[in-house]
Amino acid sequence: MSATTPSTWLVTGATSGFGRLVAERALALGAHVIAVGRRRDRLAELADSAPKGLVTTLELDVTAPDAQEVLAEVVRLAGGLDVLVNNAGYGLFGSVEQIGADEARALFDTNVLANLAVLRAALPALRASRGRILQTSSLIGQFAWPASGLYAASKGAVELISEALAHELAPTGVKVTLIEPGTFATEFFGSVRVVEPNDVYLPTVGKFLEDVSALPPEAVGDPEAVADAIMAVAALEEPPLRLAVGADAIESIRASLRSRLAELDRWESFPRVPVGEGV
């Protein structure tokens, strides 16, 4: 698919951050954008600023029970789909022990189960067009820091779902790419829910949260770079499965992979329990 070819894009989380920037870029290419979000005023702003007829706005909470059916119908009415940017999600940080069941469930409902609902709604049309799927993950979809356990687990789920999906879709021509941004200046951080650590977790979770809040402005990237990366990879004939964006993402993921390989090598010859023995 050429970047200059008129196409139809479905972008979730299109009212702010990476989703809004990608929607604007796709519109600038002459694409029809199905912009999905929960904020009516932001969707109206996007529609008002776009060429007439190129935006279909959809005010929708992607965790709603009927979200899959609503999205599938909008795609049908649009006449097909070429690119899905599955971007909706939110952050929840705190110790694994202190995050309650209701908050954990809400996080996975949004970041994992809603992501799946969007995929199911879009996949028939994407198969027909041999289209592109861009899944927004995170550098901590590859590893976890103190305080990030539940959020990293939700993004790790998206990573493995997407990896399996890429294998499953390979014969159809549909390409899947995970976008793994580092730390970028979007509204994400303003909407993050933080569970403050108790005394037990002050040395780990508390220290990590303090360090993050003390990051200098130059440590936070320009979100335009992520939007540009999404647009570029969507146009590739053979895109990567994973694309880390930002120096911190690349360095941190590389360090994590090296650490895991070193641990695998170190424990490779550790005694194994023979088959049929043990618990």
Q: Which of 7, 95, 137, 154 is catalytic?
A: 137
Per the annotation, the verdict on 175 as an active-site residue is no
- Rounded Cα distance between 232 and 196, Å, is 39
Per the annotation, the verdict on 52 as an active-site residue is no
Per the annotation, the verdict on 155 as an active-site residue is yes
DSSP summary character for residue 239: -
Nearest CA to 37 among 7, 6, 10? 10
Residue type present at position 235? A
Q: What is the DSSP string of 22-49?
A: HHHHHHHTT-EEEEEES-HHHHHHHHHH
Q: Which of 95, 148, 154, 155 is catalytic?
A: 155
Q: Which of 138, 148, 151, 175 is catalytic?
A: 151
- Rounded Cα distance between 275 and 181, Å, is 43
Beta strands in the chain (DSSP E): 8-12, 32-37, 55-59, 83-86, 92-93, 132-136, 175-181, 193-194, 242-245
Catalytic residues: 137, 151, 155
